[in-house]
Structure 1
Amino acid sequence: MAEQNNDLVLPASLLDTDLYKFTMQQAVLQHFPGVEGTYRFTHRDKDVFFTRACFDRFQRSVSQFSKLQLAPEERDWLAKTCSYLKPEYLEYLASYRFKPEQIRLRFDPLPEDAEKDARGDGAARGHIKIDAVGPWQETILWEVPLMACLSEIFFTTVDTDWNYDGQEEQAYEKAATLLQAGCSFSEFGTRRRRSYRTQDLIMKAILRAQEDNPDAPGKVSGTSNMHLAMKYGVTPMGTIAHEWFMGVGALRGYPHANATALRLWEEVYPNVLQIALTDTFSTEAFYKDFLSDPHFARQWTGLRQDSGDPFVYAPRAKEVYQQLGVDHTSKTIIFSDALTVEKALKLKQQCDELGFKCAFGIGTSLSNDFRKASSNGKEKSRALNMVIKLSSVDGKPTVKISDEITKNTGDPATVRHVKAIFGIPITEKDEVIH
Structure 2
Amino acid sequence: MIVNLAERAHNHNWQLDPITRSLLDTDFYKLLMLQFIWKHFPEVEVTFSLVNRSTTVSLAERISLEELRMQLDNVRSLRFQKSELIWLAGNTFYGKRGIFEPDFLDWLEHDFRLPDYELSIQDGDISLSFRGLWTQTTLWEIYALAILSELKTRTSLREMSEFSLDILYARAKAKLWSKIERLRGVPGLRVADFGTRRRHSFLWQEYVVKAMRDTLGSSFTGSSNTYLAYKHDLEAIGTNAHELPMALAAMAETDEELKASQYRMLELWQSTYQRELLIMLPDTFGTTQFLEGAPDWVTDWTGQRMDSKSPYVAGDEYIDWLRKRGRDPEKKFIIASDGLDVQDILGLHAYFSGEILGDRNPQDFNDASDFLDSEKWSPKRRIRFSSGWGTLLTNDFRNCDPSGGSGFDPISLVCKLTDANGRPAVKLSDNYAKAMGDPEQVERYRRVFGTAGQINVPALV
Asked if TM exceeds 0.5, the reply is yes
* Secondary structure in 1 matching 2:135: helix
2-structure distance, mates of 1:96, 1:289: 40
Root-mean-square deviation (Å): 2.5
- The aligned counterpart of 1:115 is none
- The aligned counterpart of 1:85 is 100
- The aligned counterpart of 1:243 is 243
1-structure distance, mates of 2:16, 2:54: 26
- The aligned counterpart of 2:225 is 225
Q: Deviations over 1:252-308 (max 9, x none)?
A: 431112211110111111232111101000001210232xx221112x110110012
* Secondary structure in 2 matching 1:272: coil
TM-superposed CA distance for 1:7, in Å, is 5.1
Letter in structure 2 aligned against 1:19: F
Q: Which of these residues, 34, 41, 46, is aligned with residue 50 of structure 2?
A: 41
1-structure distance, mates of 2:415, 2:437: 12
TM-superposed CA distance for 1:34, in Å, is 1.2
Change (3 A) 1:46 1:137: same
- The aligned counterpart of 1:318 is 319
Decide whether the 8 Å contact of 2:278 with 2:302 is kept in 1: yes
- The aligned counterpart of 1:57 is 67
Does structure 1 residue 147 correspond to structure 2 residue 145? yes
Change (3 A) 1:374 1:249: closer
Q: Which of these residues, 207, 215, 220, is aligned with residue 209 of structure 1?
A: 215
For structure 1, list consecutive stretches of 5 or more residues without a partner in the other structure: 110-125, 212-217, 430-434
1-structure distance, mates of 2:42, 2:247: 13
Scaled by the length of structure 2, the TM-score of the pair is 0.82
Change (3 A) 1:177 1:295: same
Q: Deviations over 1:158-185 (max 9, x none)?
A: 5756632244444344334324223201
Q: Which of these residues, 286, 289, 309, is aligned with residue 285 of structure 1?
A: 289
- The aligned counterpart of 1:99 is 114
* Secondary structure in 2 matching 1:70: coil
Q: 1:127-276 counterparts in 2 under 5 A?
A: 127-158=125-156, 160=159, 163-182=168-187, 183-211=189-217, 219-252=219-252, 253-276=257-280
Q: Which moved more, 1:264-273 or 1:176-185?
A: 176-185
Decide whether the 8 Å contact of 1:399 with 1:415 is kept in 2: yes
Q: Deviations over 1:12-35 (max 9, x none)?
A: 211011101110011111111110
Change (3 A) 1:95 1:329: same
Does structure 1 residue 297 correspond to structure 2 residue 312? no
TM-superposed CA distance for 1:237, in Å, is 0.2
- The aligned counterpart of 1:389 is 416
TM-superposed CA distance for 1:49, in Å, is 1.5
Q: Which moved more, 1:159-168 or 1:346-355?
A: 159-168
TM-superposed CA distance for 1:424, in Å, is 2.4
Q: Which of these residues, 73, 80, 89, is aligned with residue 70 of structure 1?
A: 80
2-structure distance, mates of 1:94, 1:306: 33
Decide whether the 8 Å contact of 1:108 with 1:127 is kept in 2: yes
* Secondary structure in 2 matching 1:134: strand
* Secondary structure in 2 matching 1:401: coil
2-structure distance, mates of 1:371, 1:254: 42
1-structure distance, mates of 2:103, 2:184: 39
Scaled by the length of structure 1, the TM-score of the pair is 0.86
Q: Deviations over 1:364-409 (max 9, x none)?
A: 0111000355447797941121000111111111111111111111
* Secondary structure in 2 matching 1:33: coil
* Secondary structure in 2 matching 1:369: coil
1-structure distance, mates of 2:52, 2:60: 14
Change (3 A) 1:73 1:322: same
Letter in structure 2 aligned against 1:266: Q
Decide whether the 8 Å contact of 2:156 with 2:407 is kept in 1: no
1-structure distance, mates of 2:13, 2:290: 44
Change (3 A) 1:355 1:374: closer
- The aligned counterpart of 2:360 is none
Letter in structure 2 aligned against 1:72: K
Give the percent of matched residue pairs that are identical in Structure 1 and Structure 2. 31
Change (3 A) 1:286 1:318: same
* Secondary structure in 1 matching 2:419: strand
Decide whether the 8 Å contact of 1:67 with 1:97 is kept in 2: no
2-structure distance, mates of 1:201, 1:231: 13
* Secondary structure in 2 matching 1:180: coil
2-structure distance, mates of 1:9, 1:55: 15
* Secondary structure in 2 matching 1:10: coil
TM-superposed CA distance for 1:51, in Å, is 3.6
1-structure distance, mates of 2:265, 2:83: 33
* Secondary structure in 1 matching 2:169: coil
Q: Deviations over 1:112-133 (max 9, x none)?
A: xxxxxxxxxxxxxx31111110
